[in-house]
Amino acid sequence: MHKKPYDQFRSARWFGPDDLRSFGHRSRAMQMGLSREDWEGKPVIAILNTWSELQPCHMHFKDRVAFVKKGVLQAGGMPVEIPVHSLGEQLLKPTAMLYRNMVAMEVEEVLRANPVDGAVLMGGCDKSTPALVMGAVSMGLPFIYLPAGPMLRGNYAGKVLGSGADAWKYWDERRAGHISKEEWQGLEGGIARSYGHCMTMGTASTMTAIAEGLGLCLPGASSIPAPDVNHQRMSAACGRRIVDMVWQDLTPDQIITQSSVANAVTVAMATGCSTNAIIHLIAMARRSGVPLTLDDLDAIGRTTPVIANIRPSGKDYLMEDFFYAGGLPALMKELGDKLDLDAMTVSGRTVGQNIAGATNYNSDVIRSLRNPVYGEGSLAVLKGNLAPDGAVIKPAAMDAKFMTHRGPAMVANSYAELKSIIDDPQADITADHVLILRNAGPQGGPGMPEWGMIPMPQKLLNEGHRDMVRLSDARMSGTSYGACILHVAPEAFVGGPLALIETGDMISLDIPNRRLDVELTEEQLAKRRQNWVPPKPHYERGYGWMFLKHIEQADKGCDFDFLRTEFGASVPEPEIN
Ligand code: FES
């Protein structure tokens, strides 16, 4: 096994030399109760912990980090726990997405500025996975991703409850008058019964599966429920493994390649992934120097069936069932040759070696390619005069009657305006309308909030409708469902064609042919554009100001323009003086 010489370790540059500066480094380490035996000849491993008392999905990280440290010590490394900002999806406003790139920057710089040789990244709640991975990729040290694991199934009054998906479903029923206040409060207490991330195949489960598909997790790590004792053992194994990775100098550029990105996309499509995955996949791939476009994603989607029968794309099951059925290794084994089995992973073995012994214990939860939940990829990329740079829809989780649709637009310029439409039992809207929310994109939201699963209008709920075509430049939660067209690019706030639509314009959706158009001529659009006035930016100072100056559109992954690979790769190591 290749063994990197200790004097080439980054930490050795801080602690090794016999000079005044290193005297300071060593004496301050000793101030913390450490002695030479703790660091001499050993890799220093940063454990980036996203624990916070406002982050319910990561509550167990306070306990779990002890297992990571134990593993690092077992393997002869020196663990150092470093807190980083936690991206709690529910409590953080205006949206965790506003801060994804900020955390990516924090991760990159915290690794660069400190005497560390490798890292374990502890994340799981939606944006935490891409944020941690993007930052660590840009820094380039060996790292391993430790997923938080899904929470237990929800339960109330004998009913199994799924994160998000059942909240939307029962909220519609409550608004239709079918659920009492007491029942609603019972659902509130039963839908999230343990720590861990959302247990549907929402953004969190999708992103941790993608991290494993990229080769960044130990095999099977992403499927272990957070409260399962296997999660503790996996945490210790991450600690042991990262020490070996540092000695082997197994850097992320050897793992994240064109092949592993294609594997991750295939895995995502087979899980019936969250629409958010599209944005994060593009951002992570671009940080890694691997070009990935919406068209690439659509092409893989068209040939990859959904085989994870997990809600919301699947019908009956949740992540706990997925784990008992064999988890992600079993799903990857079903995908077989659709994956590049020679791709390298953090385990030091290839994908093929990792999944060779995987078993599918429940063929209804993890289907075969011959018996999929949904025959074609769960996501479709649409283009047309309404979305020249693309839009996304999830056909696997919507009423199939909307695969082709033509209907008049009903336009809301803001969420407040939208609410006045959806809460009005007399609103002038029909099930054929296309309900549009604009100014909810990366700049308009700001931060592209998850407003894209626009609630069904009260009037239509009362008439018995539960789905209609909705359209926005926002994102939607990965646990959402419905005929919701999302991520329209360019967004309305920067003058995309969406800004020019008026109530009553005819919108045409053709998912089989991947088209999204407004029935207006180029001349009509150009005429309206002359009268369009750009809205005032949301921020004039601070992080928000920087965000608005540099955020890219959804089809580019919503990264900052100055964090592209060519910039990140040229950042020098800090001087030790
Ligand atoms: Fe954290 Fe859903 S709220 S994963």
For 209-228, write each residue's pLDDT tens digit: 999 999 999 999 999 999 99
φ/ψ region of 140 (left if φ > 0, alpha if ψ in -120 to 50, else beta) reads: left
Test site for ligand 1: of 197, 200, 222, 276, most ligand atoms within 8 A of the Cβ: 197
CA-to-CA separations, 487 to 145, 299, 400, 515, in angstroms, rounded: 28, 18, 21, 14
**Model pTM greater than 0.85?**
yes
pLDDT band at residue 567 under the 50/70/90 scheme: low
Q: 198-225 burial, b for 16+ CB within 10 Å, e for fewer?
A: bbbbbbbbbbbbbbbbbbbbbbbbbbbb
The answer for residues whose C-beta is within 8 angstroms of residue 38's C-beta and 6 or more apart is 29, 78
pLDDT of residue 169: 86
How many Å lie between the centroid of ligand 1 and the Cα of residue 568?
A: 29
Mean of pLDDT over the chain = 95
pLDDT of residue 397: 83
Please determine, for residue 568, whether its predicted confidence score (pLDDT) is greater than 60. no
Please determine, for residue 167, whether its predicted confidence score (pLDDT) is greater than 60. yes
CA-to-CA separations, 5 to 36, 37, 77, in angstroms, rounded: 18, 18, 15
Cα 512 versus chain centre, distance:
26
Cα 283 versus chain centre, distance:
10
* Residue 197, ligand 1, Cβ within 6 A: yes
pLDDT band at residue 566 under the 50/70/90 scheme: low
* Residue 89, ligand 1, Cβ within 6 A: yes
pLDDT of residue 478: 76
Cα–Cα dist 571/84, whole Å = 21
Cα–Cα dist 161/152, whole Å = 10
* Residue 125, ligand 1, Cβ within 6 A: yes
pLDDT digits (tens, 9 = 90+) for 469-487: 999 999 998 777 899 999 9
Q: 243-270 burial, b for 16+ CB within 10 Å, e for fewer?
A: bbbbbebbbbeebbbebbbbbbbbbbbb
* Residue 198, ligand 1, Cβ within 6 A: yes
pLDDT band at residue 413 under the 50/70/90 scheme: very high
Please determine, for residue 552, whether its predicted confidence score (pLDDT) is greater than 70. yes
pLDDT of residue 570: 62
pLDDT digits (tens, 9 = 90+) for 489-525: 999 999 999 999 999 999 999 999 999 999 999 999 9
How many Å lie between the centroid of ligand 1 and the Cα of residue 292?
A: 26
Q: Are 565 and 289 in contact (CB under 8 A)?
A: yes
Look at strands 484-485 and 387-393 and give their pairing: unpaired
pLDDT digits (tens, 9 = 90+) for 251-291: 999 999 999 999 999 999 999 988 999 999 999 999 999 99
* Residue 57, ligand 1, Cβ within 6 A: yes
How many Å lie between the centroid of ligand 1 and the Cα of residue 194?
A: 12
Position in ligand 1 atom list of the atom nearest CA 477: 2
Return the beta strands (E) in 330-468 as ranges: 380-384, 387-393, 404-412, 434-437
Domains, the chain, in order of start with CATH, read 1-38 (no CATH), 42-152+194-355 (3.40.50.2300), 154-190 (no CATH), 380-531 (3.50.30.80)
How many Å lie between the centroid of ligand 1 and the Cα of residue 327?
A: 19
3-state helix, strand, coil in the chain (%, to 5): 40, 15, 45
How many Å lie between the centroid of ligand 1 and the Cα of residue 206?
A: 11
Q: Are 361 and 329 in contact (CB under 8 A)?
A: no
pLDDT band at residue 313 under the 50/70/90 scheme: confident
pLDDT digits (tens, 9 = 90+) for 59-88: 999 999 999 999 999 999 999 999 999 999
User: Taking residues 565-572, what's their average pLDDT?
Assistant: 66
User: Quick one: what percent of the chain has pLDDT higher than 90?
Assistant: 90
* Residue 226, ligand 1, Cβ within 6 A: no
Q: Are 136 and 121 in contact (CB under 8 A)?
A: yes
Position in ligand 1 atom list of the atom nearest CA 204: 4
How many Å lie between the centroid of ligand 1 and the Cα of residue 370?
A: 32
Q: Higher-confidence residue: 168 or 35?
A: 35
Strand order in the sheet with 515-518: 387-393, 380-384, 515-518, 506-510, 404-412, 434-437, 469-472, 484-485
Please determine, for residue 377, whether its predicted confidence score (pLDDT) is greater than 70. no
pLDDT of residue 575: 82
Cα–Cα dist 147/207, whole Å = 9
- Take atom 1 of ligand 1 and give the residue whose Cα is closest: 125
Nearest-10 crossing angle of helices 203-214, 327-335: 60
pLDDT of residue 59: 97
Q: DSSP assignment, residue 483?
A: S
pLDDT digits (tens, 9 = 90+) for 421-464: 999 999 999 999 999 999 999 999 999 999 998 999 999 999 99
Cα–Cα dist 82/111, whole Å = 10
pLDDT of residue 110: 97
Please determine, for residue 1, whether its predicted confidence score (pLDDT) is greater than 90. no
pLDDT digits (tens, 9 = 90+) for 81-129: 999 999 999 999 999 999 999 999 999 999 999 999 999 999 999 999 9
pLDDT of residue 472: 97
